[in-house]
């Protein structure tokens, strides 16, 4: 007997619609099931600034060196929860690759998350890397600035382009099944459909 239990990690630099696509996947009938009521998978965000008590503070991705033990314990706790809830669905908006990207860029320190991926792989986790062409970042920024509460983070688009090069390399090192998806056309519906297609074709929707 198989159960609908998709587990998706969305990665990418800023302005690649990770959060928008996470919410869209959470409403997609092939991902959440054909139910008369809306069934929602838990949405986990590595960007939640949960290590400090002020907006835009530090968290699982942008922790400082003295918070390393806290970050690693948090990752271990999440993985344990995923294992305990083996037949549950999860949509994760940024996770360990974003941590590696930020820490490498900021502190020139890398973290070996192979232990994490080796525990996620038997749980049928899938990795989706969202990317866009360098020239498409400008239009995406213009749209984001209409709603952003922290607009200054989008000042330097070259930073995002360089981050994308790095996280693409990190994603290719992953042992998890991985889809790289270009979202330069800003079409969230189309991107969501392509992810659902890929999940279905690679056995990522159901577990026995």
pLDDT for position 38: 58
Per-residue pLDDT tens digits for 61-83: 999 999 999 999 999 999 999 99
142 versus 85: the higher-pLDDT residue is 85
pLDDT for position 148: 75
82 versus 143: the higher-pLDDT residue is 82
pLDDT for position 173: 97
pLDDT for position 98: 96
Question: What's the rounded Cα separation, in Å, for the pair 60 and 67?
Answer: 9
Nearest alpha-carbon partner for 100 in 58, 46, 61? 61
Per-residue pLDDT tens digits for 155-167: 788 899 999 999 9
pLDDT for position 40: 65
pTM score, whole prediction: 0.92
Taking only Cα atoms into account, the Rg of the chain, rounded to an integer number of angstroms, comes to 17
pLDDT at 35 over 70: no
pLDDT for position 147: 73
In the chain, the domains with their CATH numbers are 3-207 (3.40.50.300)
Say if residues 202 and 126 touch (Cβ distance below 8 Å).
Answer: yes
Number of H helices, E strands in the chain: 8, 7
pLDDT for position 93: 94
């Amino acid at each position: 007997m198989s159960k609908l239990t998709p587990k998706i990690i969305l990665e990418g630099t800023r302005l690649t619609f990770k959060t928008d696509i996470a919410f869209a996947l959470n409403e997609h009938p092939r991902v959440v099931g054909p139910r008369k009521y809306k069934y929602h998978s838990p949405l986990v965000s590595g960007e939640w600034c949960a290590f400090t008590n002020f907006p835009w503070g530090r968290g699982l991705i942008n922790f400082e060196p003295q918070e390393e033990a806290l970050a690693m314990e948090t990752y271990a706790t999440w993985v344990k929860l995923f294992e305990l809830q083996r037949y549950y669905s999860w949509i994760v908006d940024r996770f360990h690759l974003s941590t590696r990207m930020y820490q490498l860029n900021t502190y020139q320190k890398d973290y070996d998350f192979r232990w994490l991926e080796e525990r996620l792989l038997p749980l049928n986790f899938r990795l989706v890397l969202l990317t866009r062409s360098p020239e498409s970042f400008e239009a995406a920024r213009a749209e984001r600035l209409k709603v952003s509460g922290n607009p200054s983070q989008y000042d330097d688009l070259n930073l995002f382009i360089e981050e994308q090069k790095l996280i693409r390399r990190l994603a290719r090192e992953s042992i998890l099944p991985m889809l790289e998806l270009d979202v330069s056309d800003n079409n969230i519906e189309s991107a969501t459909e392509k992810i659902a297609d890929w999940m279905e074709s690679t056995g990522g929707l159901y577990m026995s």
